[in-house]
Structure 1
Amino acid sequence: MSKLLKIVLASMLILGVASTTASADAVKGQKLFIKKFKKACGFNGAKFAAKHSQAEWEEINANGKFKEELMKICPNVKESDIKDKWLPHIYDFSYEYANDSGNVPSC
């Protein structure tokens, strides 16, 4: 019985750590925005994130329209400039620093 309990607890610990590292990161999204999109957009990440509220960013992302919204806000950004693996991080950045969040990024 105790051996089974140890296996279950170890599995839960591993699953918890794995799910944490697989999640998106607002800081990484901020760095990606600065490096890849700031020049093309013509403004910093704070202005980009403040284009919508958290609820609006959440709805845009849930509808699968985040990439289109990025290209709409930044018309000089082409679809080929955006890698799909970047989107969760940039979304987290946008959500974290939305106009109703009270947070201000350092970019």
Structure 2
Amino acid sequence: MKLLKLLLAATLVLGVSATTLSASSVKGQKLFIKKFKKPCGMNGAKFAAKHSQDEWQEIMDNGNFKKEFVKICPNVKESDIKDSWVEHIFEFSYDYANDSGNVPSC
């Protein structure tokens, strides 16, 4: 009985953590659609496909995500991108990069 409870608890923890990880990408997609699709003149799929996952990771690690965003979308100013959104939009961009094999629905 203890083993069953332990397995159930482990399954619950893994399920919640997996949902949390995907939530930031989903939130990033929603933010892109709501705030940046029109000013960028492209959908999220085209935006994310501008770089590979390694390139997106390097841009983020170097602290240049906002600068790269503005380079891709010149109609957007760095001040338009809230700091609290950066991680979510990065997760979205990384998950749907040109080498990821994933296609977003936006």
Q: Which residue of 2 aligns with 1:30?
A: 29
The one-letter code sitting in structure 2 at the alignment partner of 1:89 is H
Larger CA Rg, structure 1 vs 2? 1
Where does the alignment leave 5 or more consecutive residues of structure 1 unmatched?
1-13
Q: Report the more deviating stretch, 21-30 or 38-47.
A: 21-30
Which residue of structure 2 aligns with residue 59 of structure 1? 58
Measured against aligned partners, the alpha-carbon deviations of 1:33-63 in whole angstroms (never above 9, x if no partner) come to: 0000000000000000000000000000000
Determine if contact 1:60/1:66 at 8 Å carries over to the other structure.
yes
| TM-score, length of structure 1 as denominator length | 0.78
Distance 1:93 1:22 in 2: 11
5+ unaligned residues in a row in structure 2: which ranges? 1-12
Quick one: distance in 2 between partners of 1:23 and 1:105?
A: 13
| Equivalent residue, structure 2, for 1:6 | none
Runs of at least 4 residues off by over 6 Å: none
Query: Structure 2 CA distance, aligned partners of 1:77 and 1:40?
Result: 6
Q: CA RMSD in A?
A: 2.1
